[in-house]
Amino acid sequence: MALANRIADGLRDAGFAVDVVYHGAAALQSATAADYDVIVLDRDLPRVHGDRVCRQLVRDGSPSRILMLTAAADVDDRVDGLELGADDYLGKPFAFHELVARIRALGRRGPGSPAVVRRGELVVDRARHRASRAGSPLTLTRKEFGVLECLAGADGATVSAEQLLEHVWDAHADPFSNTVAVTIARLRRKLGDPPLIETVVGVGYRL
């Protein structure tokens, strides 16, 4: 539990929205309730073993990428984990910056998830967490970058405030707060004119 909390705190510092659960049954419940980009799965979970969690998520067609994080790190263990359907496998002990790099790589996988997104004069470099407009770098907080990344990745589609809360914040975010609106307002100011973010009344936001 302590390790899970330390990992979660480190990932939040790296700009990720993170939910934490401590046993396999809760992992399955959370993965059903939300579409996570990446699931970091300890193989040796109580109640429901991590292998069973991985197998069920794959069988049920979960869209989430799965990174197994475990003390069992020899070649046979890695092969077993990957054959269960995990997308990546990292043994303990591990370098935290490697974990971050692997999670970001998994989050970029698949069609429609390029490392660099270009929308007109706006460039969002997801791999390096950088953005620029008309060649000028933008100085953004982690949350501002996360919102911009979501909007740019939607390719012109409208993204709701609820979706932004889910992908940029975490389960502790207050859905009734004005957090998203405040972050959008700051982001608009930093992006400059002409405005890039449109409010679709009653629906959400889009580039």
> Is residue 9 located within the same domain as residue 96?
yes
Last residue of a domain, one of 90, 108, 126: 108
User: Within a 10 A sphere around the Cβ of 191, how many other Cβ atoms?
Assistant: 19
> Is residue 48 located within the same domain as residue 17?
yes
User: What pLDDT is stored for residue 111 in this prediction?
Assistant: 44
User: What pLDDT is stored for residue 194 in this prediction?
Assistant: 93
CA–CA distances in Å: residue 186 to residues 40, 150, 172? 31, 16, 22
3-state secondary structure the chain: CHHHHHHHHHHHHCCCCCCCCCCHHHHHHHHHHCCCCEEEEECCCCCCCHHHHHHHHHHCCCCCEEEEEECCCCHHHHHHHHHCCCCEEEECCCCHHHHHHHHHHHHHCCCCCCCEEEECCEEEECCCCEEEECCEECCCCHHHHHHHHHHHHCCCCCECHHHHHHHHCCCCCCCCCCHHHHHHHHHHHHHCCCCCCEEECCCEEEC
> Is residue 120 located within the same domain as residue 139?
yes
> Is residue 124 located within the same domain as residue 77?
no
Last residue of a domain, one of 108, 132, 156: 108
> Is residue 142 located within the same domain as residue 195?
yes
> Is residue 87 located within the same domain as residue 42?
yes
Q: Which domain holds residue 98?
A: 2-108
> Is residue 7 located within the same domain as residue 84?
yes
Last residue of a domain, one of 52, 77, 108: 108
> Is residue 9 located within the same domain as residue 103?
yes
> Is residue 157 located within the same domain as residue 102?
no
> Is residue 129 located within the same domain as residue 87?
no
> Is residue 134 located within the same domain as residue 95?
no
User: Within a 10 A sphere around the Cβ of 137, how many other Cβ atoms?
Assistant: 10
- Looking at the structure of the chain, the number of domains it has is 2
Per-residue pLDDT of the chain (207 residues; tens, 9 = 90+): 788 899 999 998 888 888 999 999 999 999 888 878 899 999 888 899 888 999 898 888 888 889 988 776 566 666 676 778 888 888 888 889 899 888 888 876 544 456 678 888 999 987 677 899 999 999 998 889 989 988 988 888 999 988 888 788 766 666 667 888 999 999 999 999 999 999 999 899 999
> Is residue 27 located within the same domain as residue 85?
yes
Residue 118 in contact with residue 126, Cβ under 8 Å? no
CATH of the domain at 30: 3.40.50.2300
CATH of the domain at 151: 1.10.10.10
